[in-house]
Chains A and B, each alone.
Chain A
């Protein structure tokens, strides 16, 4: 299964960029959390080590092995989501967590993103349609996405729901959908939004959406969070206030500062220059993964890469958009920077898969054949 020659093709640069972003994340997390004890930082450090191991481990599998285990992973994800719903720990109104002992909790909805991407890739891999897909052709992937989607909505976790929709939607659209089908889907969504609004969404969720549409409804709630995070980022100016010197961060004005709003901490303490460089690294990672997709030898690898690219892309866009006040406040972490084991592990698994695909993108060189 494993060919030692593949190590020659291991993309050290890509791996290095990912490590750099993780290091930035750890430094930043240190500043955001050292005042309240370093347990958050230490846990993240542990998850980081675990993530690297997981990434390296998964990169050894080729696409056929991944494809073979896709169904298992999918079923496992669904089971974990169901367990979270039944036995889960409720944190601020959502049952998104499974407790494993005192110190470790996992968030199955994070890991489910990878499973969904794999499942969609598997569907397209086994399908040889060339023309754009119609609604009827897509029943299977729609069902595959809907099942975890509904489980996440039940938690309820608005941010992750939106993420799953965006990630799988990006893949389906990339693979081609008939215009008519898109129109039909839009009509369906509008038609479903009324009952969803009235019967499915909980009161506070409706409130969040209403607050987004009209922030003055709740100046002290999410409006306050959005404002404080913008003040944090904006007051960093070009060079930032310096490591551990961000007043918005250190005096706890930035809400959820080690998780969803971590980018505000970065922007406050490291300024425009720090934020820009970090965004540039993200940009490089995403383009690198898209490039991997375009170079992939098989459809499965291509779609999986694209799916992982879109996980990074949508998380970065929505999270930074939210932190800088372009988008409403919703629970979407910034991969590799936000505190959270499941999120970090998911991102590192994605990185590992991409590394694996990249290693196998080229035929083994002649020189090596000669060996």
Chain B
């Protein structure tokens, strides 16, 4: 077959080359990319199961558990194992008591979105539901139950505003918490949010070998490269809050909308911080349903707002403490300066009224603070001018964040520059007059008022309020401990402060004082009432939303102050009538706790 010789050569060359290609490909897969494929084969067979880390607890200052965890049985569906979505929907519907169509659509979207990964269907099923599902496991392919931890609130909605609520992590939050899984929950407000990094803990995992169908395999052959990591529980956050005092403050405020704060004047530690109306954090633990969320968001009483730190109000007459200090320090008055109050004050073409129609007559600073005479402070304001006054507004901490570890707003500390910047208008002198009695542009949070009161009480230190005492890891290590920290000093001589403190004692204890209803027999209380007008001073209205905000800010004992208590009741009316008795109630409990030696 000589004449085919050339063709045999060509055929041989083709065969040689084809085999070279195959061997080359083997070399490429096994030698060049061998390690990569080895890793792939490991990933293929090793399935990692999450061991969820229990979240850290939140405790009060005496170690009482406020927020803890409890086990939750969560229902997952594994779409690839579902044989008949329709029959599964109807079975689940009868077990869970949920709408069939709702379940069906949820299952179908899971099938489309992630065929091979379990999808969280519902959290925290009941024991009965769990028992029912476990008993019928074989007839419910594609249904998995996994245990996890869920928040438990030992005292219901007590302190909800400061503790905060939990929710599914958002896209944005995923970036700031890199270790958290996309279907996990994180703190959305309050302490839960502020201490997320410490509270969250680190999930562990356990690895197991699965075959191509995802079934667990117990071949000893492939077990050697398995690892496991225990979860690291989140650290406990110990609050400076005293549960008893917090409870007392919430009871005292009752159904009224407002805020109550108790602060240690010597350290800035917050002992109680109440905002009402509030929400029930338990509503959030399973993932809040949209109608409930909508009603919370749209609720005109703003239950999600922590009024103590995020509510801004005109301070009203409690602000007279600042004006008085400014007047004395700048020398425009002294303790013996008398002004005459005829019930109103003319400035330019305008008349500013005193709250007391008939007027207070002639009075000095002490009497003016005790009786909360507006005209006396109008006089100081006119002599001071806004530029000097606004300096003191800032010194007392208004218009700047307190630095508490919760979300807060700052309110407004008015000044000439502030007005030209904000409104592009000049400052009118008449505006200084109303600022002197805490009306007009000035606004503040109850916490700012409480901290300024504490500063007066301790002789001039403006503390940074703390709500967390320490953070302790599960192995008992103290991760964070707080020490008193000052935001600033009032910079006012003790002599001047003592004049004001004497007057504040008078507010509660003198017969003509506006804050008599805060008086206690066993402890001398000092304080200042405030009745902040919501609308302009000239409008008179009985409408609930136009009713005055009632303030009372105080400290006790007057001669050796330990605690400052500030109460605000939204649209509550007169501070002396409404807010002062609440303060009294809180201080009574404080006194009782003090006797027990617990505060």
Residues of A within 8 A of B (CB): 174, 220, 228, 230-238, 245, 247-248, 250-253, 267, 271-272, 275-276, 279, 282-283, 286-287, 290, 293-294, 296, 299, 302, 306, 313, 316-317, 320-321, 324-326
The answer on a CB contact under 8 Å between B212 and A252 is yes
Name the residue on B nearest A294 (C-beta): B8
Q: Which of B37, B209, B211 contacts A235 (CB 8 A)?
A: B37
The answer on a CB contact under 8 Å between A238 and B219 is no
What are 20 inter-chain pairs, A to B, with CB distance below 8 A? A174-B4, A174-B7, A233-B30, A234-B30, A235-B40, A235-B41, A237-B34, A248-B41, A250-B222, A267-B29, A272-B27, A276-B23, A279-B19, A279-B22, A283-B19, A293-B1, A294-B4, A302-B4, A320-B22, A326-B25
The answer on a CB contact under 8 Å between A230 and B37 is yes
The interface-forming segment of B10-18, B129-137, B161-169 is: B10-18
The answer on a CB contact under 8 Å between A321 and B12 is no
CB distance from B111 to the nearest CB of A (A): 13
The answer on a CB contact under 8 Å between A234 and B38 is yes
Interface centre among B4, B12, B21, B213 (most CB of A within 10 A): B4
Contacts of B209 in A (CB 8 A): 251
The answer on a CB contact under 8 Å between B25 and A235 is no
The answer on a CB contact under 8 Å between A245 and B221 is yes
The answer on a CB contact under 8 Å between B4 and A233 is no
The answer on a CB contact under 8 Å between A247 and B22 is no
Q: Which of B4, B16, B36, B115 contacts A234 (CB 8 A)?
A: B36
Name the residue on B nearest A317 (C-beta): B18
Contacts of B19 in A (CB 8 A): 279, 282-283
The answer on a CB contact under 8 Å between A272 and B31 is yes
The answer, yes or no, to whether B72 is at the interface (CB within 8 Å) is no
Name the residue on B nearest A245 (C-beta): B221
Given contacts A238-B31, A287-B12, whether A324 and B41 have CB atoms under 8 Å apart is: no
List CB contacts (< 8 Å) of B116-166 with chain A: none
Contacts of B12 in A (CB 8 A): 287, 290
The answer on a CB contact under 8 Å between A174 and B41 is no
The 8 closest A-B pairs by CB, nearest first: A234-B37, A237-B34, A235-B41, A234-B29, A251-B211, A252-B212, A272-B30, A235-B37
The answer, yes or no, to whether B170 is at the interface (CB within 8 Å) is no
CA distance A113 to B76 in the complex (A): 53
The answer, yes or no, to whether B33 is at the interface (CB within 8 Å) is yes
Contacts of B21 in A (CB 8 A): 326
Contacts of B22 in A (CB 8 A): 279, 316-317, 320-321, 324, 326
CB distance from A137 to the nearest CB of B (A): 18
The answer on a CB contact under 8 Å between A231 and B41 is yes
CA distance A324 to B211 in the complex (A): 22
CB distance from A274 to the nearest CB of B (A): 10
CB distance from B9 to the nearest CB of A (A): 9
Contacts of A232 in B (CB 8 A): 41
Contacts of B27 in A (CB 8 A): 272
The answer on a CB contact under 8 Å between B37 and A324 is no
Name the residue on B nearest A242 (C-beta): B221
The answer on a CB contact under 8 Å between A267 and B8 is no
The answer, yes or no, to whether B487 is at the interface (CB within 8 Å) is no
List CB contacts (< 8 Å) of B85-116 with chain A: 115
The answer, yes or no, to whether B421 is at the interface (CB within 8 Å) is no
The answer on a CB contact under 8 Å between B45 and A324 is no
Extra 8 A-B pairs, beta carbons < 8 Å, given A247-B45, A251-B217: A174-B4, A231-B41, A233-B37, A234-B38, A237-B38, A252-B212, A253-B45, A276-B23
Contacts of B16 in A (CB 8 A): 283
The answer on a CB contact under 8 Å between B34 and A231 is no
Contacts of A250 in B (CB 8 A): 219, 221-222
Contacts of B15 in A (CB 8 A): 283, 286-287, 290, 313
CB distance from B493 to the nearest CB of A (A): 79
The answer, yes or no, to whether B424 is at the interface (CB within 8 Å) is no
The answer on a CB contact under 8 Å between A267 and B1 is no
List CB contacts (< 8 Å) of B205-223 with chain A: 209-213, 217, 219, 221-222
Q: Which of A247, A296, A325 contacts B222 (CB 8 A)?
A: A247
Interface centre among A251, A282, A283 (most CB of B within 10 A): A251
The answer, yes or no, to whether B26 is at the interface (CB within 8 Å) is yes
CA distance A311 to B41 in the complex (A): 33
Contacts of B211 in A (CB 8 A): 251-253
The answer on a CB contact under 8 Å between B29 and A324 is yes
Interface centre among B16, B30, B37, B115 (most CB of A within 10 A): B30
The answer on a CB contact under 8 Å between A294 and B1 is yes
Q: Which of A174, A235, A275 contacts B34 (CB 8 A)?
A: A235
| Range of interface residues on B (Cβ < 8 Å) | 35 or more
Name the residue on A nearest B115 (C-beta): A220
Given contacts A296-B1, A313-B15, whether A272 and B26 have CB atoms under 8 Å apart is: yes
Contacts of B217 in A (CB 8 A): 251
Contacts of A267 in B (CB 8 A): 26, 29-30
Contacts of A286 in B (CB 8 A): 15
The answer on a CB contact under 8 Å between A247 and B41 is yes
The answer on a CB contact under 8 Å between B44 and A253 is yes
Contacts of A306 in B (CB 8 A): 11
Name the residue on B nearest A239 (C-beta): B30
Q: Which of B11, B18, B33, B35 contacts A290 (CB 8 A)?
A: B11
CA distance A279 to B20 in the complex (A): 10
CA distance A86 to B163 in the complex (A): 76
CB distance from A74 to the nearest CB of B (A): 24
Contacts of B1 in A (CB 8 A): 293-294, 296, 299, 302
Given contacts A251-B45, A283-B15, whether A231 and B40 have CB atoms under 8 Å apart is: yes
Name the residue on A nearest B9 (C-beta): A294
The answer, yes or no, to whether B5 is at the interface (CB within 8 Å) is yes
The answer on a CB contact under 8 Å between A251 and B210 is yes
Contacts of B44 in A (CB 8 A): 228, 231, 247-248, 251, 253
Contacts of B8 in A (CB 8 A): 290, 293-294
Contacts of A245 in B (CB 8 A): 221
CA distance A234 to B34 in the complex (A): 5
Q: Which of B23, B38, B40 contacts A279 (CB 8 A)?
A: B23
Contacts of A302 in B (CB 8 A): 1, 4
Contacts of A233 in B (CB 8 A): 26, 29-30, 37
CB distance from B546 to the nearest CB of A (A): 66
Contacts of B221 in A (CB 8 A): 245, 247, 250
CA distance A179 to B209 in the complex (A): 58
Contacts of B7 in A (CB 8 A): 174
Contacts of B5 in A (CB 8 A): 294
Contacts of B31 in A (CB 8 A): 237-238, 272
Contact string, B31-56, partner A, CB cutoff 8 A, digits 1/0? 10111111011101100000000000
Given contacts A235-B38, A286-B15, whether A230 and B29 have CB atoms under 8 Å apart is: yes
Given contacts A235-B37, A276-B23, A299-B1, whether A251 and B222 have CB atoms under 8 Å apart is: yes
CA distance A245 to B219 in the complex (A): 10
CB distance from A301 to the nearest CB of B (A): 9
CA distance A306 to B44 in the complex (A): 43
CB distance from B219 to the nearest CB of A (A): 7
Contacts of A220 in B (CB 8 A): 115
Name the residue on B nearest A324 (C-beta): B25
The answer on a CB contact under 8 Å between B11 and A237 is no
CA distance A204 to B222 in the complex (A): 37
Contacts of B213 in A (CB 8 A): 252
Interface centre among A220, A238, A283, A299 (most CB of B within 10 A): A283
Name the residue on B nearest A298 (C-beta): B1
Contacts of A252 in B (CB 8 A): 211-213
Q: Which of B11, B23, B34, B212 contacts A238 (CB 8 A)?
A: B34
Name the residue on B nearest A326 (C-beta): B25
The answer on a CB contact under 8 Å between A253 and B18 is no
CB distance from A252 to the nearest CB of B (A): 4
Name the residue on B nearest A230 (C-beta): B29
Contacts of A321 in B (CB 8 A): 22, 25
CA distance A296 to B4 in the complex (A): 11
CA distance A343 to B12 in the complex (A): 25
CA distance A234 to B28 in the complex (A): 8
